[in-house]
Structure 1
């Protein structure tokens, strides 16, 4: 297994100098004619592109949403401050080029019998490259929507490159991604030839297919009738002759929605039916000693799935990153989890977790103990919150003999005052998901815990949501998946009881997923969304979900204030009274208790643009295309001659914010 690290380093050295431009071919001395001619070389080439996968513990897809916040606000929530860049941005083809080079080189050689090695293994590695191209294109789909579909490497010829810059409608991009994933599914085995779950497998491709199809199906549903979908009013693609007569492959946008949701159901079921949920051996308790909690957590398979050094035995894990200190391959995951590194869960996220009896916290008879302390917040709650919300006094380290320099043996009071730089716990609510109890792991960048990339549990939620969006009801399969997830979480499996007790007006105060296109969804769909966010706590999917649900429109007219824990109650005594200053301009350290008893993260100092709350503009569902790309594909710098069109609501002018519709 350790050989994979050698391959990883080899691939990094061979491929590290690639340019972002479409026209740059791999120099002959870097990828010689005798490279990509035998099985191990194919395996090595793909590893470099694995760097695009996320690392657990760095939850960039969750922060700056309604579930988690950083100390610095995100400019996308302050319309006018997110600007069109002069260069760079999401319009990049580096990884696409590398995938295309591999496929156009290897496929003909393989067909001609010119690649040596085991045939099944060669097919698997070709399948990996189709997967990796699909992964890259899905990133572009989320960020830009319409995007050029490039299947080959291109010569250094402006005419050819300009022609290749034509943007394909997003439905075609999504279908192209599914086609690549179908190729990956066909070619890859149930297990990788080597490396086990450290390499991609057929189930990974099926899971990603379900994710992409669900994304596109729901995006089209909720953005229907807007400039964000092909043939919608003011769709900028219509301004270019090459898209002017575009027709959906299924005949209508409704047909496309049905197509993608059907694909999502089929692919997700293929994964979910092969998954056995990891056992959660800890039932949420009202009282348990910190020592007992730590010992039980370290022994709990469900907790260990996020903190073990070897994740190969966990049935839910489809792909994970392995690390080895002896080979100098390490991570900072343990540090990031214990220090919370400048992010925390919001009050809105914590409040949406149910009680163990299946009732929302506000429902009569729920048994909610209140939020005057974090201990009370956790009492009798959904087992996932009980397990993964850190509480001051909890034991972090059970093997302290070789404590690393960044170890925090006991959970302290959250550093909401930013006294230790980027290690501050900005909201007061800290995650302990992935906590490592071995002190030796806590040196700076000295961790070697595994990092989950793909977890099969997502397929349960993809099926539940896709089936409900498609049919308007929950079939028996979706119900069984939902009950299994809740049972593992220690929550009453009667989800109908939860649905009946849900008050959307209460949930809407803090959970953006109540809305799609500025309108409240029904209670069943909301609870499917709620369950998804609670299970995938801190795993980086929230921004993707909010975007496809079109769940930020309500902030166009009504500001949203990000809140943390209930500072203005007994927990204020954790801090020196003199340190909690407010209403003194930019010297204020916390928000005014007269505004809210909850810490308002950005409503402290009036000079902060988010002081008056998060706001939204439609253009921000996608990023803009940078000016550079218009200029290099135009004639005499006349951007109107470029085949590229700008995304809805964005100007074709650098350093300007969105201009609306």
Structure 2
């Protein structure tokens, strides 16, 4: 399919009828990163500088948040003090303006490629040929990265590869949405270009810039995402040519065919692409070692697996492909180490996530002979469990600081009893369960807003997990490579590597009580696939991929008819004695905790009775994709707009989904 050319439809930003004059000035500007084509992007250093500005597209440890470790909030993995309206059908509405229909990052990438490629082909760029190719490869990667964001949020999307002059007719034509399968094909093509151009290591030899393996890993992620999306949304309006697909109403999408000939063949092809790309990474990068030690004194050996998530310099860890570096001396800092020593800035782990972890013997907690100690105390929850839960689930009286114990202004030297009655983000514990990922034992990291530990962007373990899942989804069984990868992950986690033991003892009706990933399209999946998803959930907890996974698995349909209650630790048991009875108020407008009549477990969103989710999280199909704001239809033709709305949503502003 032809790639479209457009100068990033700022016509999407404002209504055509009243902003033509000011819009014209904006559309005629070059990207802020550029000077002029004649004066800039002529040598290696300029290419490097332009590309480095795009790194802000990656997740980051923001100054006053729990950084990348808090991205999974508002899923079945993590919760905070406030619920998300996307789980209250009717509250999420079509916007008048804004939304995710925007193209700035894509425009910046296209400007670079449009300017640089002719010069490169003509040999007019000075510097190291290898480095020049690498920086061009980075820009192909970043265009793919932003396009994948658009696909996840909006599905079908315009394919745009160059800038266009300020011509409203041309821009409107170019804004036509292409079927998501074509957009993903375009993304994979860009990633193939990135893979072919980027070096195995970045030009500076470190892990703060992209390399070939990053593109291979990301390719495996994209292909797995789309393969599972097409599989589980087949027969719905959410896939090209599905019944009710809104793209079919447009003349320009008439007669669309998948490039492989059918949706079934396209799914298989995507899984093959994911397997190939992920194996290239997994076969080249070993897993970091886990010695099973939770360091609690300066005499204890450090644990590389633990330290990997909170080190200042992450370049020495074998599975780290890319991380964001911070610098205390330059005041490029964040507050993650402070929050990791307390309540994670109000982000708590859910009961569902905690209970999904196996025992160290490989059995689910409910299986006969598992050795599960129960959940009356957090120490019981951690006992004999999967080493990842034992390592990363915080417990009162654990030591948080081992070095420079007097250096920081906001040090919490010993882990306190979870402060569940304080709703202050910086001090409160939303669920009672808090995570240790991101904790650094150096007190010097705990000056308020002065932390400078790194932020992981890509690590090779995801490639292992992607291969396992893609292999099973494609073949219905695991090959030797997938089995080897899975055993390696479990061995590193401190769990019996016999995954068949876990599978044979899995009861899906029990798992479904606390794991949305037990479902696809409202139906329980088989125990093998579930345990593959379980492995992914446990290994990647608090790393920002849970919502992506839940969407592509179509894992929320069951909440259309059966609300889900987000829960934390077992408050109404012996742990209630940690608190004064007067502080555990419930059933009033000023309640601090949920009532024991609702559950023995703390329900962070069901305290006062006034919460819109007091009766549980609910779902509607439209919420799998975002609505496109009303102004974008007005700009591109109004009633005859060349773009179309996503399934279940109206083009009218402030309207709720129509599939309620």
Shorter-chain TM-score category?
over 0.9
Residues 305-348 of structure 1, C-alpha deviation per residue, up to 9 Å, x if partnerless?
A: 11111111111000011112122222222123223101100000
SS of 2:608's partner is coil
Q: Post-superposition shift, 1:89?
A: 0.9
Task: Call closer, same or farther: CA 1:337–1:283 in 2, change over 3 Å.
Answer: closer
Q: 1:149 maps to what in 2? A: 159
Q: Post-superposition shift, 1:226?
A: 0.1
1:327 maps to 2:330: yes
Q: In terms of mean alpha carbon deviation, does 412-421 or 178-187 score higher?
A: 412-421
Q: 1:49 maps to what in 2? A: 54
Kept after mapping to 1: 8 A contact 2:293/2:302: no
Kept after mapping to 2: 8 A contact 1:83/1:657: yes
**Within 2, Cα distance between the matches of 1:314 and 1:487?**
18
Task: Call closer, same or farther: CA 1:195–1:448 in 2, change over 3 Å.
Answer: farther
**Within 2, Cα distance between the matches of 1:20 and 1:252?**
33
1:175 maps to 2:185: yes
Kept after mapping to 2: 8 A contact 1:79/1:616: yes
1:399 maps to 2:398: no
Q: 2:357 maps to what in 1? A: 353
TM-score normalised to structure 1 length: 0.93
**Within 1, Cα distance between the matches of 2:468 and 2:232?**
18
Task: Call closer, same or farther: CA 1:535–1:87 in 2, change over 3 Å.
Answer: same
Kept after mapping to 2: 8 A contact 1:23/1:157: no
Kept after mapping to 2: 8 A contact 1:36/1:42: yes
Q: In terms of mean alpha carbon deviation, does 341-350 or 403-412 score higher?
A: 403-412
Within-5 A mapping of 1:276-295:
276-282=286-292, 291-292=296-297
Within-5 A mapping of 1:24-35:
24-26=28-30, 30-32=34-36, 33-35=38-40
Alignment gaps of 5+ in structure 2:
1-9, 14-25, 62-66
Kept after mapping to 2: 8 A contact 1:23/1:161: no
1:194 maps to 2:198: no
Kept after mapping to 1: 8 A contact 2:337/2:438: yes
1:631 maps to 2:634: yes
Q: 2:257 maps to what in 1? A: 247
Which of residues 30, 42, 51 in structure 2 aligns to 1:37? 42
**Within 1, Cα distance between the matches of 2:590 and 2:642?**
50
Q: 2:64 maps to what in 1? A: none
TM-score normalised to structure 2 length: 0.93
Kept after mapping to 2: 8 A contact 1:145/1:622: yes
Q: In terms of mean alpha carbon deviation, does 153-162 or 502-511 score higher?
A: 153-162
Residues 66-120 of structure 1, C-alpha deviation per residue, up to 9 Å, x if partnerless?
A: 0111111010000000111111111010000000000000000001111000111
Task: Call closer, same or farther: CA 1:19–1:166 in 2, change over 3 Å.
Answer: closer
**Within 1, Cα distance between the matches of 2:636 and 2:359?**
57
Q: Post-superposition shift, 1:613?
A: 0.4
1:273 maps to 2:278: no
SS of 1:319's partner is strand
Residues 188-215 of structure 1, C-alpha deviation per residue, up to 9 Å, x if partnerless?
A: 0101112511000000000000000000
SS of 1:593's partner is coil
Q: Post-superposition shift, 1:587?
A: 2.0
**Within 2, Cα distance between the matches of 1:291 and 1:69?**
28
Kept after mapping to 2: 8 A contact 1:399/1:439: yes
Residues 238-265 of structure 1, C-alpha deviation per residue, up to 9 Å, x if partnerless?
A: 1111112211111100011011100000
Which of residues 70, 75, 95 in structure 2 aligns to 1:85? 95
Residues 528-564 of structure 1, C-alpha deviation per residue, up to 9 Å, x if partnerless?
A: 0000010112111000000000000000000000000
Q: Post-superposition shift, 1:400?
A: 3.6
Residues 32-76 of structure 1, C-alpha deviation per residue, up to 9 Å, x if partnerless?
A: 221100000000001111001012643354110101111110100
Which of residues 438, 441, 445 in structure 1 aligns to 2:449? 445
Q: Post-superposition shift, 1:574?
A: 1.3
Kept after mapping to 2: 8 A contact 1:416/1:424: yes
Q: 1:432 maps to what in 2? A: 436
Task: Call closer, same or farther: CA 1:595–1:28 in 2, change over 3 Å.
Answer: closer
Q: Post-superposition shift, 1:500?
A: 0.5
**Within 1, Cα distance between the matches of 2:293 and 2:425?**
36
Q: 1:12 maps to what in 2? A: none
Within-5 A mapping of 1:468-617:
468-584=472-588, 586-617=589-620
Kept after mapping to 1: 8 A contact 2:423/2:429: no
1:643 maps to 2:642: yes
Q: 1:215 maps to what in 2? A: 225
Q: 1:11 maps to what in 2? A: none
Q: 2:659 maps to what in 1? A: 660
Q: Post-superposition shift, 1:28?
A: 9.4
**Within 2, Cα distance between the matches of 1:186 and 1:391?**
47
Q: 1:119 maps to what in 2? A: 129
Kept after mapping to 2: 8 A contact 1:89/1:625: yes
Kept after mapping to 2: 8 A contact 1:504/1:514: yes
SS of 1:184's partner is helix
- The number of residues matched between the two structures is 632
Which of residues 413, 417, 432 in structure 2 aligns to 1:409? 413
Q: Post-superposition shift, 1:19?
A: 11
Task: Call closer, same or farther: CA 1:24–1:596 in 2, change over 3 Å.
Answer: farther
**Within 2, Cα distance between the matches of 1:300 and 1:486?**
17
**Within 1, Cα distance between the matches of 2:444 and 2:476?**
51
1:377 maps to 2:381: yes
Q: 1:128 maps to what in 2? A: 138
**Within 2, Cα distance between the matches of 1:59 and 1:653?**
36
Kept after mapping to 2: 8 A contact 1:146/1:167: yes
**Within 2, Cα distance between the matches of 1:377 and 1:24?**
60
